[in-house]
Structure 1
């Protein structure tokens, strides 16, 4: 539901959010409730609220009018909160089991109230510990197939798709992605962050004109190809898991873009964790098991995605042209090639750019961490430059397993 809008924006805190939720009848009694702000991201407050009367726990997420990681000098539109809630609701039409339920949203307060996932584990943290999740590939593959198809021209036709696309114009957050993924890592930008020991490697990357040309092509795709509605930030920190369930969260970067972008982001995070495990795990057997699981997950995710996407095109494609095997081959080849290139850009930005990943930065041994960072920069560049040479994700993963071990 959309919560009644009778106020102007103000930042909430652990006390005021309880009053707000009680007023909206999402909480029984604020005096018999607990609240804790747990947001560790860069853009939002996240309140976990427990109703002691009913025993129910909910999450209230409020967007801030600036990037928390930088401060008020980096202003952001609050429109992203509406976009996030709308994206979750749209995904729930096809994969309701793979996203948190939205209980209410308030555009004035830039607030979304949703299902609590405290019993879940953030996928990134689980993978860092070497945990494996038996249904992850099936779930993410299905999420990609269903969400990407459901908002495409092939599913909706051009008129309905354009009407939907109007609801997801997201310039501020797209600008963040464009800068941090496709621009800043390739020159001496103020936002970049990397250890001085990597400077020689980074400066060599900055001077690689062939690489920068290929990144410019990928940036052009990101800027201009509005193929379908994307999550926009599908990394392992945006996925919550148990042994049986998977939930995709935080689609505040959602926009209409190239279909390979989400898959590329997910693959990049699997590959970064794969490289990091070489230095994180001291038990050789566990190390190899974890690394093999990550590569197998990449392959199976793609296989599930591709099979389901083909089936959706054939059964639900809006016109005869989109239902042919030849068209499916063409479209999936494009999505795969784009995904590999975008994965390369995502890997590089996590080593050079503003926001890194704990998989790599949390490696305690400095020399080991530097080894992983150098391998990641090498891998990222190769993914970009060789993206057209791989005929399958299985072939790509075989190469990674042999070349990056």
Structure 2
């Protein structure tokens, strides 16, 4: 495996991509960061003819090198893009230009200047037309038939499972919530010690790990939504798997609720989504996502007071308990 990053000499990169037949009689002029990716190494390559993105997975999380992660996750991402190829949502994802599985390396279309939608957390608002578009894209993803040999992506799901269903409820997980917001640690304790809640969370976690019938993005939240070239794009499906559609729907609804503080988004999302849903399961996954984002390790840049978070946590528990 050839590892690449922003420090790779241009001559070395030129020779390597030439050997892969990925260059079109062109010369690399510079390499730059297209933005901070959490999981993988990202590079924008600028040649004398075009630009493109290189994405490479490592045996760890790029943002947290001490956290091991399955390097083959990029295989699942590549298979996701193949599964939606030809669908009417392909225009809402970057095109895969080439793939070198031996190097866990993907060459992708450069969408140019754009930003993910995490700014909605600080704005405390989201446009209805964006939500409608995102739900349409999601429904079309779910309608695509994944091949029978689609990757289980189980190793990455197990890593994610710990952050979703286990670590937030550990009394000593090495993460001090008061470092995020004063008073959050005390606010979390009733949920960390709630055995009834944890029993249902455990069952929900087993459901997440089970095999389903629907192709999922697996991480459908504002960090995976991008606006560029005047339209919405869906990015980074490395957490994809074949599971229950209610997981994607519930996660999306949770982030809209946390962003706006409006619990009515739950009903709106379920009513707008094009396919039949188990709404109770949607609510449970939404409650789980709110809990883990507020008292877990994967914190968001939410502009919420401690009192507002108390209200959100109470609602989240009610949703999980259904």
* Cα distance in 2 between the residues matched to 1:131 and 1:119: 22
1:370 correspondence with 2:313? no
Q: Give the superposition deviation at 1:355.
A: 1.4
Instruction: Name the CA shift for 1:198/1:135 in 2 (closer, same or farther; >3 Å).
Output: closer
Of 256, 260, 267, 2:242 maps to 256
Q: Which of 204, 212, 233 is matched with 1:226 structurally?
A: 212
Compared with structure 1, are the counterparts of its residues 131 and 190 closer, same or farther at alpha carbon in structure 2 (3 Å cutoff)? closer
Change (3 A) 1:16 1:380: farther
Give the structure 1 partner of residue 122 of structure 2. Answer: 128
SS at match of 2:97: strand
2:201 counterpart of 1:205: no
Q: Which of 200, 203, 215 is the matching residue for 2:201?
A: 215
User: CA deviation digits over 1:227-283, x for unaligned, max 9?
Assistant: 2221111111001125952111101011122221111111111111113xxxxxxxx
Q: CA deviation at 1:210?
A: 2.0
Structure 1 residues not aligned, in runs of 5+ = 1-7, 152-160, 276-290, 310-331, 387-405
Return the TM-score normalized by structure 2: 0.86
Q: 1:354 to 1:229 in 2, by over 3 A?
A: same
Question: CA separation in 1, counterparts of 2:229 and 2:282?
Answer: 27
| Residues 82 and 105 in structure 1, CA contact (< 8 A), matched pair in contact too | no
TM-superposed CA distance for 1:41, in Å, is 3.2
The answer to whether the 8 Å contact 2:270/2:277 transfers is no
Q: Which of the residues 61, 66, 74 maps onto 1:67?
A: 61
Q: How many residues matched?
A: 314
Alpha-carbon RMSD: 2.6
1:356 and 2:292 matched = no
- Taking a change above 3 Å as real, the CA distance of residues 149 and 201 of structure 1, as seen in their structure-2 partners, is same
Spell out the pairing of 1:128-277 with structure 2 (5 A cutoff).
128-129=122-123, 132-133=126-127, 135-151=129-145, 164-190=147-173, 192-195=175-178, 197-241=183-227, 244-275=230-261
- Within 2, Cα distance between the matches of 1:342 and 1:305? 16
Inter-CA distance 204–88: structure 2 relative to 1 (3 Å threshold): same
Name the SS of the counterpart of 1:67 in structure 2: coil
* Cα pair 2:80 2:240 within 8 Å, conserved: yes
TM-score relative to the length of structure 1: 0.70
Correspondence 1:384 to 2:317: no
Conserved? CA contact 2:253–2:269, under 8 Å: no
**1:193 Cα offset (Å):** 4.4
Encode CA deviations 1:368-398: one digit per residue, 9 max, x unaligned.
5423332332232122123xxxxxxxxxxxx
Partner of 2:23: 26
State which of 287, 298, 301 in structure 2 corresponds to 1:344: 287
Q: Deviations over 1:187-209 (max 9, x none)?
A: 22425441162222211112222
Asked if residue 118 in structure 1 is aligned to residue 112 in structure 2, the reply is yes
Does 2:101 align with 1:79? no
Following the alignment from structure 1 to structure 2, what is the Cα–Cα distance between the partners of residues 44 and 104? Answer: 17
Can you give the 5+ residue segments of structure 2 that lack an aligned partner in the other structure? none
Per mean C-alpha deviation after superposition, the further-off stretch among 80-89 and 21-30 is 21-30
Kept in 1, the 8 Å contact 2:251–2:289? The answer is yes
Bigger helix fraction: 1
Deviation at 1:165, TM superposition (A): 4.4
Taking the TM superposition and a 5 Å limit, the aligned residue runs for 1:7-22 are: 8-16=1-9, 18-19=13-14, 20-22=16-18
The answer on whether the counterparts of 1:270 and 1:295 sit within 8 Å (CA) in structure 2 is no
